[in-house]
Structure 1
């Protein structure tokens, strides 16, 4: 059947209109950006605890579907907002592990276009079953009806300041004085958060600059007692697992770290739980502090990463595969049955962090 030139021309116009409309529809929907082949490469610094999350093939695929490729480098949260050697590399975004880092970044001249907390995880204490059992005997650790361990951190800190031996705390298998180890608070966020929690607990309230003058020396003694402090939360967690109960009896970490480690190799975890060796235990300080993970937008284009990370799909991946809670500190999906019972749905005893005006002088004191 012959087609007139006029009809053929109208058909071309219609096809072009549909194609243009489809292009604009996709262009205006971030979740379909990847279909255009129009990739946006973003470079920024992240806390080490989020490295596995961004390397997860499912996360890479979800970001790729929105046209995003992330080139991230690991740096300590404190370092990335203070060190000019890092900031001079022109990162398009920063993803530290504490909301206070936003204020510190501003004080250091970082031109912030936007910031938003996209993940949360509470600070916990990692220990071992024999240590937890001993601390339960002296009342420093209790177990809830749901099976979670709670730690009276203030009482433990006072014992550490007093130079109390492990044997006096019910832990006869360990030699010498009791101690707890965190990362370097001047470099890594978990140590930074722990420093703020320590000062607040010692002062009996949310710490202020006035409390620093009175209780700062005690906090300094606790950190000096730690000896070497790792610059990275991830490295400290690896030291804890490798060193065992004798090498690292108690360390400061994030709730999500053990969850992520278990899910990475369930067979390994099953061997540990069925073996005769000491089992890792997660102790929840009461109260604790939340490590909020704000995405700091420096380059306008990084808003697309912020939008992607707050979608339900990526929030679900963050919780179910990496143990990160959502922006409000609540679960954003379902965990593997072997993990779900380890984590309380809600953390009901949380202190706010001291402000930057208190934390920065505390960091200076702990660096001495």
Structure 2
């Protein structure tokens, strides 16, 4: 009896040892052994900085795909012209940058050596302050839609910005502000959000159609006049938004920027959400332009990141925590998840940007001393 009991005990111990060796040991080894990650080097627009720093994004890229991203913040337009031979990918914020870059590397695109896909989208919107928005709603420039979000007729907006002389704030119903009616942008020669607003501006000057190269050339003086009237301009969309929030209505009455920036700011400052939303409003130009975020993969490592960013959870984080609408088919973005008002489920009034040659000609003209 004692021998039989001893045998049973031995078998139980043996089974436990086998279980540890077969099931638990590999997991323990995996946990204590540092995983070798592939480092992906990339030029990235500043607006995606917080997304790439998000701890859950970092963990998912490492755990699911064995990747870590080492990136430099470079403006989208600069990415189109900078030497990219030492990086795995570029991640600008508009298709113009992609088109310019492709024109310089057409053979690599044609051979499949360079590939790309639009990962995120974000519309260009206006941000402004409650007293000013209410005054411009009363004047009929801004319109609150039945669904609760606010719009502005882009043609009428551009007409005010190009009128000579420019109307004062008082003339458009805002007595609290000094000077002329204006929309502040980042520097279009260096920053994507500014560049895209100028592209939208050019379309409206072309009669609400996509500006041809001929139309762009015809309207360059009007674009230059608006550009020169701005004075100092921030080099980054993110910095412009920070200045807007920190300095208030007097310094930055209305700015043009990415929709995603306010969503991201509110998510990061949940305790201030009610106060922020009572002061700051999004106004959707009709039409607007999409800021598309194509990832341009130059190497195998870049293509691995491109594949990883299709991950459904990463796309969910991008919308719910950073305000980026998905650029992929089949993924929907529900504003109700954000617990925010004034954000439409879909952006339906959109006009394409002018082609790259028109954008390049505009930038060359604006850069002239």
The interval holding the TM-score normalised by the smaller chain is 0.7 to 0.9
Partner of 2:14: none
Partner of 1:207: 211
Partner of 1:196: 199
In our comparison, the structure showing a higher alpha carbon Rg is: 2
TM-score (norm 1): 0.85
Whether the aligned pair in 2 keeps the contact of 1:160 and 1:177 (CA below 8 Å) is: no
Partner Cα distance (1:39, 1:82) in 2: 30
Partner Cα distance (1:235, 1:44) in 2: 21
For the aligned residue pairs, the C-alpha RMSD in angstroms reads 2.5
The offset of 1:328, in angstroms, is 5.3
The offset of 1:286, in angstroms, is 0.4
Gaps of at least 5 residues in structure 2 are 1-6, 8-20
The offset of 1:80, in angstroms, is 1.5
- CA change 1:314–1:249 in 2 (3 A) is same
Gaps of at least 5 residues in structure 1 are 2-14, 23-31
Partner Cα distance (1:120, 1:156) in 2: 23
- CA change 1:309–1:335 in 2 (3 A) is farther
Partner of 2:353: 353
- Post-superposition CA distance 1:261-300 (Å, at most 9, x none): 00001112234457xxxx1111100000000000000112
Partner Cα distance (1:267, 1:236) in 2: 23
2:233 to 224, 229, 236: 229
Q: Residue 261 in 1 paired to residue 265 in 2?
A: yes
Partner of 2:37: 39
Partner of 2:16: none
- Post-superposition CA distance 1:152-185 (Å, at most 9, x none): 2221222222211111111111111111111111
Q: Residue 294 in 1 paired to residue 290 in 2?
A: no
Correspondence list, 1:129-208, <5 A: 129-162=130-163, 163-204=166-207, 205-208=209-212
Partner Cα distance (2:191, 2:216) in 1: 20
Partner Cα distance (2:313, 2:334) in 1: 10
Partner Cα distance (1:157, 1:284) in 2: 14
- CA change 1:57–1:334 in 2 (3 A) is farther
The offset of 1:302, in angstroms, is 1.2
- CA change 1:215–1:296 in 2 (3 A) is same
TM-score (norm 2): 0.85
Partner Cα distance (1:199, 1:177) in 2: 21
What is the DSSP-based 3-state SS (H/G/I as helix, E as strand, rest coil) of the residue aligned with 2:326?
Answer: coil
The offset of 1:39, in angstroms, is 1.3
What is the DSSP-based 3-state SS (H/G/I as helix, E as strand, rest coil) of the residue aligned with 1:183?
Answer: coil
1:104 to 84, 89, 100: 100
May I ask how many residue pairs the two structures share in their alignment? Answer: 334
